[in-house]
Amino acid sequence: MLLDGKGTALKIRTELKTETAALLAVRGRAPGLAVILAGDDPASRIYVRNKRLACEEAGFRSETFEKPPSVSQKELEYLVDELNARTDIDGILLQLPLFAHLDSRPLLQRIDPAKDVDGFHPQNMGRLALGLPGPRPCTPAGVMALLRHYGLSPHGKRAVVVGRSNIVGKPLALMLGADAPEANATVTICHSRTPNLREECLRADFLFLALGRPKAVGADMVKEGAVVVDVGISRTERGLCGDCDFEAVLPKAGAITPVPGGVGPMTIAMLLVNTLNAYKASLPNP
Ligand code: GUN
């Protein structure tokens, strides 16, 4: 089974658009997202553009703040302060990675946790770890939503997450292992220092790949019938490519996400969900 993230994301975005139009008619204000781009990763520019287009399509207002390489840490602090104070901005997203001379950590901590639509603020990561409600990081939230959409429950199953980043691996492992009906997996986190990656992966009923290394995982690392969710996306000479060797793994997997068209579109849909939630929470009489 092919897990169609593009189609699933479109369905979520369509529902969200209808809800946004109804809220706009009553409240007289659209949800607003501010995106800060202060980095030179070429992929970031594409992500930011896609986020802006998705916002506009859903009926949100979006503002992009693109900064030159000369931007200072202080300038970004002031910008975050200004956006925190603005009542027409519900969500603030600091696109990562930043220019090398900048430090993302104090900036992420400076974002008002109520406007933290990436769920990267320590308070919101803490809420995730404690099982409290709050905005969840978009990529792992998108993975969970995609599984839910296809009725693939990791409950009681062995889940292996390859990658331990703060953006994907760590929060995804917390979500999969949460005490919740749609979670309750037994989770193993693997990383670059895991001695027997192949053996670990072979035990997975649900295998989540977030290494960022093209075709690093072959069919010999996948259990027959496993659900394979490929979060990696790399640009190669032969186009975009995930962390697994898709053609080789496809016949072995019970279900698999394509790259592109798998997890990526779900990330954007979850950003819209988080922004709409922040907007609804900011209204006087929700
Ligand atoms: N860089 C790669 N993925 C993401 C993401 O989900 N959010 C932000 N802010 N930066 C990213």
pLDDT band for 283, please (50, 70, 90 cuts): confident
- Note whether 84 and 145 are same-domain residues: no
- Note whether 251 and 189 are same-domain residues: yes
Determine the residue of 49, 167, 272 to mutate for testing ligand 1's pocket, defined as the one with the most ligand atoms within 8 A of the Cβ atom: 167
- Note whether 254 and 156 are same-domain residues: yes
pLDDT at 146 over 80: yes
Residue 9 lies in a domain: no
Integer Cα distance of 103 and 123 in angstroms: 18
- Give the active site residue among 4, 90, 95, 243: 95
Catalytic (active site) residue 95: yes
Integer Cα distance of 196 and 192 in angstroms: 10
Residue nearest to atom 11 of ligand 1 (CA): 96
Residue 245 lies in a domain: yes
Catalytic (active site) residue 51: yes
| Rounded (5°) CA angle 225-231-232 | 115
- Note whether 202 and 256 are same-domain residues: yes
Integer Cα distance of 250 and 245 in angstroms: 8
Q: Which atom of ligand 1 is nearest to the CA of 94?
A: 9
- Note whether 88 and 35 are same-domain residues: yes
Whether 96 is in the pocket of ligand 1, judged by its Cβ within 6 Å, is yes
The domain spanning residue 33 has which CATH number?
Answer: 3.40.50.10860
Residue 253 lies in a domain: yes
- Note whether 105 and 150 are same-domain residues: no
Determine the residue of 41, 44, 47, 267 to mutate for testing ligand 1's pocket, defined as the one with the most ligand atoms within 8 A of the Cβ atom: 47
Judge contact between 248 and 238, C-beta under 8 A. no
Residue 219 lies in a domain: yes
pLDDT, tens digit, 9 for 90 and up, residues 239-263: 999 999 999 999 999 999 999 999 9
| Cα separation of the two ends of the chain | 40
Considering the chain, what is the average pLDDT of its residues? 97
- Note whether 50 and 145 are same-domain residues: no
Residue 57, CA distances (Å) to 8, 16, 47, 183, 245 in order: 16, 10, 15, 31, 33
Helix (H, G, I), strand (E, B) or coil at 20: helix
pLDDT at 286 over 90: no
pLDDT, tens digit, 9 for 90 and up, residues 159-179: 999 999 999 999 999 999 999
DSSP 99: P
DSSP 41: -
- Note whether 151 and 102 are same-domain residues: no
Number of domains in the chain: 2
- Note whether 159 and 72 are same-domain residues: no
Catalytic (active site) residue 118: yes
Whether 116 is in the pocket of ligand 1, judged by its Cβ within 6 Å, is no
The domain spanning residue 217 has which CATH number?
Answer: 3.40.50.720
- Note whether 165 and 81 are same-domain residues: no
Give the gyration radius of the chain's Cα atoms. Answer: 19
pLDDT, tens digit, 9 for 90 and up, residues 178-234: 999 999 999 999 999 999 999 999 999 999 999 999 999 999 999 999 999 999 999
The boundaries of the domain holding residue 259 are: 138-264
Tell me the residue ranges of DSSP E strands in the chain: 32-37, 61-66, 91-94, 158-162, 186-190, 206-209, 227-230, 234-236, 239-241, 255-256
